[in-house]
Amino acid sequence: MKFVLDYLKGILIGSGAILPGISSGVFCVIFGIYEKLINSVLNLFHDFKKNFIFLLPIVLGGITGVLLVGKLLNYLFTYYPMPTKFCFIGLILGSLPILFKNANRSKGFRLHYMIFLLAAFFLGILTIKLESVVPQIINLEVSESYFMYFVLAGFIMSIGIVVPGVSSSVILMTLGVYSIYLNAISTVNFSILLPMGIGLVIGSLLFLKVIQFLFKHYYTQTFYMIIGFVLGSTLVLYPGFSFTLEGAVSILLFVLGFGIGLKFENQAKET
């Protein structure tokens, strides 16, 4: 059962790599596996069996999320934006109690920690808001033969995978390869996916090392910044509200998402 649950988490984590306004790192945080995931990846060969068993369902789910479920979620975001976004907002808000508990477990709450939260909050909003502006400003003509450019794109994209609340889609839009990336996923075009995958792996390992260093030396400050990024994602997701049948469904899905978020909180307490 745990394998299935971790596989489902992996699906959402993978889909976060292609959905506008959603970050893979946010899902890792609200599922309570962000720190464990970092340590398992970076220390894979220190305790290979244990780390491999933990990572396997998440990696398989991530691949499924990118190749298959991402398309479904993209469809839902496009044609049913209000109910879908309310469900995700509920999921994120339901996970907040455990996030604050984790942030304060080292040194307890200090008022000045809110500075880190607010800074990340506004930075997260800024980066995601750029998604509506960047395509109009950046209009690069990128050829599929630009192998090293796609390696670079994957490398920089890894920031959006590793850092919660930083959207990888806005990074790819800035580099002028977002539409090429989506098309490569839908057609399984390895001439694009392979170099981007190489850059993504290299970048992820590097930035995971950075995050691990920050957790080790500035744990509470780092976690408050993560919470700020997560809250920024929530605000950006808010689609407005209307008192219609769709609005009623949106409220129900919000409650459902909130309940699931609390469920993940309870699971995190048990583990």
Q: Which amino acid is at 15?
A: S
**pLDDT tops 60 at residue 226:** yes
Stretch 7-32: mean pLDDT:
79
Q: Which amino acid is at 188?
A: V
CA atoms within 13 A on the CB side of 45: 0
Mean pLDDT of the chain: 82
160 contacts 166 by C-beta, under 8 angstroms: yes
| Distance from C-alpha of 176 to C-alpha of 148, rounded to nearest angstrom | 14
Residues in Cβ contact with 234 at an 8 Å cutoff, skipping those fewer than 6 apart? 89, 92, 93
Which one is predicted more confidently, 16 or 224? 224
User: In this predicted structure, what is the pLDDT of residue 271?
Assistant: 47
Per-residue DSSP letters for 33-55?
-HHHHHHHHHTTTTSHHHHHHHH
Lowest mean pLDDT among 49-58, 120-129, 183-192, 212-221: 120-129
Residues in Cβ contact with 149 at an 8 Å cutoff, skipping those fewer than 6 apart? 142, 175, 177
Q: What is the pLDDT of residues 147-183, one digit of tens each?
A: 888 999 899 888 878 887 676 776 777 777 877 887 8
DSSP 67: I
User: In this predicted structure, what is the pLDDT of residue 24?
Assistant: 80
Percentage of the chain exceeding pLDDT 70 = 86
Q: What is the pLDDT of residues 52-108, one digit of tens each?
A: 999 999 999 988 888 777 677 767 877 898 998 898 888 878 878 877 887 887 777
Predicted TM-score of the model (pTM): 0.70
User: In this predicted structure, what is the pLDDT of residue 265?
Assistant: 55
Place of tokens 């398989």: 60
Other C-beta atoms closer than 10 Å to the C-beta of 60 total 16
23 contacts 168 by C-beta, under 8 angstroms: yes
**pLDDT tops 70 at residue 122:** yes
